[in-house]
Structure formats: structure tokens, C-alpha cells
Structure 1
Amino acid sequence: MKKTFQMAKMGFALCASMLLVACGSSGESSKESSESTNSVTLMDEVKPVDITFWHAMKGPNADALEKIVADYNATVGKEKGVTVTPVFQDTGIASKVKMAASTDDIENAPDIIQTVGSDIPSLSALEEIVPAQEFFDSKNAGITTDDYYPHLLRTFTYKEKIMGVPMNVSTLLLYYNEDLLKKAGHTEAPATIAELAQYSTDLGKVDGVTGLNTEIARYQLANFIVSQSEKSFMGDNEGGRLQPMTEYTMGKDGTLKAFLTEWEKVVQSGSYKYLEDNPNEEFASGLNAMVLLSSARLGAINHLVGDKFQWKTAFLPKVNEKDTSGASVGGSALVMYNRGDNNKLAAAWDFIKYATSPEVQATWSQATGYIPVNKNTEKLDSMVEFYAKNPNYKVALEQMKASSPMAQEPFDLVNWEVNDIVKDTMGRFAQKQLSVDEAVEELSTKSNEALAEYIRVNE
């Protein structure tokens, strides 16, 4: 019997000694439906097979991912005769997956897809996609969803089904130059936007220094909206997670105005750079004392700064002191694609289990700065030692744990278009061309117009 996904109690089982496969979907393989019709059974063992893994990692993160694949192929994969081939697909993986499904291109389709959360709703409509929920529901499993942080499972949950297994996840952090803050008279990181504004003003008095550099785009705005309370969402249906979003509600529930009212203090600080030209390099050179960046930038910042100055990371400043929800999670999950070969599905799942195991996640997190998705990773001696030597890396994990699982980016269907709307509006707000009320009206109206048009075209 299927169990529904509930945040309060997550005790689903996942296959360990036995491997899961999907029985094939009903209807045409390229046909889209509101929910996958795949069902799940168990196999005693995997037969030798090659599987394809589409990903979008670049640079050092790509090197770290390919090492995971190579280590699997040389150990667990070799023992079982499974070979994983990573294929870089850059951005737009979801579009390529949908193209493969619509053309029945089974030969060139992937077995595993690394996909961002915002693509989950559209991918879930494909019959070829096998929800991870199908695997977590297995009664003969060896590990459970309790091995993953509930925040991360919810990040990739749609219509109460876990669609993908979290892999590379991060949170938005405040990076700050501790030496410059001390020169400005501050020994702790700002805890609220009002304090952030005051710090920026003070830092502006230090020669050649800009207090804060960050561009408010959709991702940043989403964090400040959902952080206000567990009931704060950018749109209806819990931000499009229970059902498709039909309206951006941030303009009428007060959360958008609350953020803009406080952010106006940052704009008025006189030491705020609202465009991100080279945020990593400018922070590392000491030009900007504070910057809001993903925790996935930790490795790059660490390398660029070196021993030039002391720097730290801190939680995302609250909109208001009494806010309770915390920062949201961003990143990607590993999603299964059914090519009609049960053995390939079993092999793909075996790799996903390996890639999200405690030991592998420790290596992955230390190399990239991504939050380890397996709760058992932080208990490993190697991870305890790493965090002791690199406390900046642990801040993202602690921020996630201190946040509500309800604090999530929206599944808003028009995220790229809304991202442009937010950047344009917030840019003019930063230049004092729009008042708080005008910015609220513009952001709300234009975002809802974009969403309404999408619904009209696709209904």
C-alpha cells in the first residue's frame, strides 16, 4: 500500500540488499500525464549493464562528481558489472529530457538525471520519470528517508511524492570580511536586514570599501519571503508544491512589502552595490566587505582569499527579528528515467544509493561546499574533523537544520521569466526609481501576468 509523504514522520524504506526496478509504464512511452504510472518491484541482483548519467556540473564540482562515478565504477560497479557514464549536458537538462521523451528517443535518453527543483513539476508529467517515492515505499528496504534531512526531501517533493533523491544542495549565506568589519566597529555578523544596512553604512566609511554587494534575483527574493514564517510562500498551493501554482501571493500577504521596507534601508545605506559583476573576486580582493552567495561558492572563495584576510560565513539575515522560518534550500536531485529496461533502473538506483551514502557525501561535501544530504555524514570522524578545521563549511548545514522544512523555493513554472522581472525591478528599486509600494505592485503584477500567460497557453 502506498504511503503519502508527511514531513512530521518520514519512515519510508529504501532498497538495500535487493534492488528496485520499475515495471514499465502504461500507454506510449512519450506520453505525458499528471502523474507517473510506473510501479515498483524488486530484483535479487543487477546484471551487468551500462547506464548514462546526465549532469550539469562544471569546473572543480564536475571533477568531484566524475570522481564519484569513477570510484563507483572501480568498486561497487565493478563487482556488479555496472558501468556509469557521466555526460555533461550544461543547463536546460529538463528540456533535453522532454525532447527525448516526446520523440521516443530511447537510444539516446539518460538513466539518471541531475535536475534542479524548479524543473520537478514539468518532469513529473513524463511517464518515463520514476518518482523516488516508489523506491522509498518498498517494504524490503534497508535504509529509510530518515537518513535524509526532511528539508532536502521536501525540496524535491511534488504533490506529496518525493520525485528525486537530493544530491547537490546549498543555502544562501552571508560571507563577510572579518577584518573589515572590525575596522568598522563590528565583531559579529549582522542578524537582520536592518543591521545589514547599518553595517553597510559603517563599512562605507572605511576607505575604498563597499559594504555589501548582492543582486536580488528570484533566488534571493524567495529566501527573504519564505524565511518570514512557515506559512510564508511566494505563491498559492504552498508555493506550487501541493498543486501547480496559480498565483503569486507575496504581493497581497504582506511578505513582499515587509522585505522591501527593510531592504530600502540597505539601499539608503550609501554603501551597497546592487549588481554582481565578479562577486567572488571582488570579495576576495577586499573591495566588498559582505556578499550574499550560495554555500556552493565556499570552495572558490576559500581558494581566492587564501591567507589575505580573515573571513567567515553566517546565516542569512532575517527580514525582521521575530521571523521564524529560515533560509530555503537550493540545488539538484538525482531523478530516474525509465527506458523500458528494468535492469538499467536497478543499476541506476544502485548508483544513486552509493552517491548519497554517508562516506561518499563526506568526500563530495568537502570538495564542493555542498551540504551533505545524508544525515549520517556529519557523524563521521572525517567530517567532524573537517568541520573543526573549516567552520565556514558547517554554517550552511547548521542554517538548514535551524530552518523550517517549509522554507522552500516555489515551483512556479515561469521561474526564468520571473527571475528577469525580479532583477529588473529590484535594480530600479536599488537606484531609488521605485518606492516600496511601486515595487510591490510591479513585482506582483508582472509575475502574475507571466504565470497567467503560461497557464493559458498550457491549459
Structure 2
Amino acid sequence: MKKKVISVLILTTLVTTLLSGCSTGKSTKTNSENKVTEIVFWHSMGGVGGEAIDKMVGNFNSSQSKIKVTAQYQGTYDDAINKMKSSQQGNAGPDVMQLYDIGTRWMIDSGYAAPIQKLIDADKFDTSTLEPNLLEYYTVNNKLYSMPFNSSTPILYYNKTAFKDAGLDPEKPPKTFDEIKEMSKKLTKKDASNKITQYGYSMAIYGWFFEQLMVKQGQLYANNENGRKDKAAAVEFDKNGAGLKIFKVWKELYDSGNFGNFGRKTSDTQNAFIAGNTAMMIDSTSVLNSVLKGIGGKFEVGTAFLPKLNESDKGGVSIGGGSLWIMDKKDDGKQKASWEFIKFMVSPEQQVYWNKNTGYFPVTKKAYDLPEMKEQLKQYPQFQTAIDQLHQSPLESRGALLGIFPEARQTIETNIESMISNKMTPEQAVENSAKSINSAIEKYNKTNK
């Protein structure tokens, strides 16, 4: 009797288990399929840029259910790099990281990131849809290392209303620095006490502008083809005369009395332009939206290509800004998820949103086919200047790669300040800059063989 009861119980259990397996087999499979891959994205965009990134990340997370991205603001690019170096000890860093353009050589040498080319090839992703000038900067040895994201170039901003008041044609901005000198004389205003109320021209003491004026002259900043054929071993700007040309023009403008020097912070020069304290300035395309909003119709703003130093200059402009890197955490699943996220971030729709909210270039050419982008250009025709300048720049105008670029920029800025305060001549400023930067390059190359 007991054996029969036990047999019935065993049979009942088996049937129940089988039926249970049939009814829940689908959910067991679903648990595996529904596994969410979580990735962390570090960025350095504050203000409206940070708000735009949060919105775009939210758009990605709601567009699918397989990947969840958490965006984390890390402060400045330099702050983010220092945090990333520390995080590598425990492999606790981000899966995707936004890094400034001048960090490219360092990131490649660090080995922290996986070249994005690997994922592009595996996915058969068509890079011809992206802006070639932007891709060119981040391509080293025919391999794309990171995805352009927040890309910008320098342009000339000028006050059309001030041009009219000075008897200048507002539709004919200066094309050369010689023209800037002449126009600045007419644009500079003084009050009854002979105090300048409006400078003709201003330019922040910013190493990026020095680099851009090297590119504009079509000259190399560093040897080994700007550090692209092989690691740069020394600068070239002290040998080819292009660096001295920049320093001399900077000093001549300053000594003219028509040049407003508002220091290293680009925002201070922007504020001077917005307030009408300077009639022209060089600045990034990325601030176009904020400049126009700041002016609020007080005067009409014009934009033009970065002026030439020499009439014969054939160079264009190089990009600034940053790109998105996929970190090499030895996790194929996370790398693939990171790649899906990056593809979304550079899609036409997201790039139009990014442009409208920040002023950075759309990295994909398809963005210009969308009605929203066409409307944006219609509303802000000043941005067309930036697009035309980018497209007319030769691919060779891609700029240099240096592992110590942040330090090099500060060196250039320090020597410009010393030069305009008459502590050294332009020739000495170039010589001192080259000597200091070459020393830093030598130390870097010894520790990054």
C-alpha cells in the first residue's frame, strides 16, 4: 500500500514538473534573451551640452530594451583623463568615454581603448555617410580609433552693424590678417576721455588658434608628418617660419592699440563681443548658438572663414572638440553594446538635435537632408559659413597629433603673454616655445615606446 502511494506521488511530481516546464520554458528562454547590458558613458559636457547628452542618452535607452546607458559628467576633459587613469587600476572605468581631440595620441599610446575600426569592420558600417574631414583627424595608420562627436572649427565673428557705422561693407568681411589690421583701425571707438569703448578685433590667448593658423598656412606643427607617419619627435613651427609669422602678427595687432586682449578664457572674449566691446573675434563654431542668443538682436552678426596670414595660404582648418572612444575592458558584449550606442549618437536625427542645442557640426552628411536641419540653417544662416569652410578644407588640413598637446598649448599661451608684455621678442617666443615643447615630447616618447 505504501509503495503504491509513493509511486503515485512520484508520478504526480513528474507530471507536474513536466507541465511546469512546458508552461515556463518560454519564460526561462526569455530571461536569457532579456538580459540587459549596462554600460557607463563618461562625458565632459556641462550646461546645455550636458542637458543635450542626457536627452540623447534617454532617447537611446527608450528606443530599445537590450542596452541601458548611464551618462556620468566627469568635469573637464583633463579631470576625466585623471579619473580614468585611476579607474584603470581596478578596471572600473567607463565603457564609452568622450575625449578631446588633443588627447588622441595619448589615448592610442595608453592602450586603454579598443580601436573603433574593429567594430566598424565587423558591422560592415558605411563610414562614407560621415564627414570625411572629421574622420580624417581620428584616423591613424588607416585605422579609425574613435568616433567624431562634438566637432568644431574656428570662424570669424563680426558685428555687421558696427561695420555699417564705420563705413565698411557688412557683406565683405576680412579675408586676411592684413585686412583685419586695416578694418580694425576704422572699427575701434573711443569716448571723450580717449578710452577705447570698442576694439576692432579680439582673439583669446588660446593655443588652439595658434594650431589653426599653422594649418591655415599649410605648414606642419610637428615632424613625422605632424605625428601621423610616426610619433612626433620635435616641432617644426620654429623651422618653417609659420610659427614666427603667427607670433609677429599677434604682436603687431596688439601693439596697434586696436586689438582687445581679454586673456586666455575664450568666454571673456565672447562676452566682450556680445557686449559690443569688440567688433570682430575668432572663436569656435560651437559657441555660435550661445553668441546669437546672448546678443539677442542688439546687432546683426556675420560669420566668415578663418582669415589667412598670407595671401597665398592654401590650407583650411582642422577640427576641435572631441570624439567617443570605446574602452577595452575585455568584454565583447559591452563593446558591441557601446558600438550600438555610438551609432545611435551619430545618427542623423540625433546629430540634428545635437547641432541645434550646441552648435557642434553634425558628423553625418545625412543630417543635412532632414527638414529640421534645413530649418535650422534657414533660421541661422551664419552656421552655413562653418559648413562651407569645413567642406572646402583639404583633408591634409587635419592637424597634428602629440601625446603632450595640453602642455604644448599652455606653453604657447605663456609665451604669447610674455611677448605682448614685451618680456621677449616674437623670435624668442618661438624659440622658447619650441625648446619647452621638444623637451616634453622627448620625455613622453621615452616613457611611451
TM category (shorter chain) comes to 0.7 to 0.9
Partner of residue 343 from structure 2, selected from 353, 372, 378: 353
CA drift at 1:59: 0.1
Give me the TM-score of the superposition, normalised by structure 1. 0.83
DSSP-derived class of the 2:398 partner: coil
- Give me the whole-angstrom Cα distance separating, in 1, the residues matched to 2:262 and 2:369: 39
DSSP-derived class of the 1:137 partner: helix
- Give me the whole-angstrom Cα distance separating, in 1, the residues matched to 2:373 and 2:421: 44
Contact residue 115 and residue 144 of structure 2 kept, 8 A: yes
Q: Which residue of 2 aligns with 1:4?
A: none
Q: Which residue of 2 aligns with 1:15?
A: none
1:254 equivalent in alignment to 2:241 = yes
Q: Which residue of 2 aligns with 1:117?
A: 101
CA drift at 1:127: 4.2
Contact residue 234 and residue 410 of structure 1 kept, 8 A: yes
Partner of residue 58 from structure 1, selected from 21, 24, 46: 46
Moved over 4 A (4+): 456-459
CA drift at 1:46: 9.1
Partner of residue 454 from structure 1, selected from 417, 420, 444: 444
Contact residue 169 and residue 329 of structure 1 kept, 8 A: yes
Q: Which residue of 2 aligns with 1:19?
A: none
Contact residue 219 and residue 409 of structure 1 kept, 8 A: no
Deviations 1:124-174 (A, max 9, x none): 234441101112323x52x41111112111221233321101110000111
- Give me the whole-angstrom Cα distance separating, in 1, the residues matched to 2:244 and 2:360: 32
Deviations 1:81-127 (A, max 9, x none): 211100111122233323322x1x23x32111111122222222344
- Give me the whole-angstrom Cα distance separating, in 2, the residues matched to 1:213 and 1:413: 30
- Give me the whole-angstrom Cα distance separating, in 2, the residues matched to 1:401 and 1:283: 27
CA drift at 1:432: 4.3
- Give me the whole-angstrom Cα distance separating, in 2, the residues matched to 1:311 and 1:254: 34
Letter in 2 for 1:312: G
Q: Gaps (5+ residues) in structure 2?
A: 1-32, 192-196
Contact residue 227 and residue 324 of structure 1 kept, 8 A: yes
Contact residue 247 and residue 416 of structure 2 kept, 8 A: no
Q: Which residue of 2 aligns with 1:35?
A: none
Letter in 1 for 2:73: F
Q: Which residue of 2 aligns with 1:241?
A: 228
CA drift at 1:205: 4.1
Q: CA RMSD in A?
A: 2.0
> Any residues of structure 2 matched to 1:22-37 within 5 Å, and which?
none
Give me the TM-score of the superposition, normalised by structure 2. 0.85
Q: Which residue of 1 aligns with 2:8?
A: none
Partner of residue 193 from structure 1, selected from 169, 177, 186: 177
Structure with bigger helix share is 2
> Any residues of structure 2 matched to 1:305-384 within 5 Å, and which?
305-384=295-374
Contact residue 198 and residue 269 of structure 1 kept, 8 A: no
Shift in CA distance, 128/225, structure 1 to aligned 2, threshold 3 Å: closer
DSSP-derived class of the 2:279 partner: strand
Structure whose CA Rg is larger: 2
- Give me the whole-angstrom Cα distance separating, in 1, the residues matched to 2:369 and 2:70: 31
1:83 equivalent in alignment to 2:68 = yes
DSSP-derived class of the 1:136 partner: helix
Partner of residue 160 from structure 1, selected from 124, 128, 142: 142
Contact residue 214 and residue 274 of structure 1 kept, 8 A: yes
Deviations 1:193-245 (A, max 9, x none): 1111112122124652111221232201000001112xx22001222223221
Deviations 1:19-42 (A, max 9, x none): xxxxxxxxxxxxxxxxxxxxxxxx
Shift in CA distance, 196/46, structure 1 to aligned 2, threshold 3 Å: farther
Letter in 1 for 2:433: L
DSSP-derived class of the 2:256 partner: coil
DSSP-derived class of the 1:125 partner: helix
- Give me the whole-angstrom Cα distance separating, in 2, the residues matched to 1:46 and 1:249: 55
> Any residues of structure 2 matched to 1:87-98 within 5 Å, and which?
87-91=72-76, 92=78, 93-98=80-85
DSSP-derived class of the 2:104 partner: helix
DSSP-derived class of the 1:167 partner: strand
- Give me the whole-angstrom Cα distance separating, in 1, the residues matched to 2:176 and 2:149: 30
1:67 equivalent in alignment to 2:38 = no
Contact residue 216 and residue 316 of structure 2 kept, 8 A: yes
CA drift at 1:458: 4.9
CA drift at 1:457: 5.1
Q: Gaps (5+ residues) in structure 1?
A: 1-44
DSSP-derived class of the 2:180 partner: helix
Deviations 1:38-93 (A, max 9, x none): xxxxxxx9952111101000000110111100111111x33xx2111001111222
1:214 equivalent in alignment to 2:220 = no
Letter in 2 for 1:175: Y
Deviations 1:314-337 (A, max 9, x none): 111111121111111001111111
Letter in 2 for 1:194: D
Letter in 2 for 1:200: S
DSSP-derived class of the 2:351 partner: helix
- Give me the whole-angstrom Cα distance separating, in 2, the residues matched to 1:182 and 1:304: 21
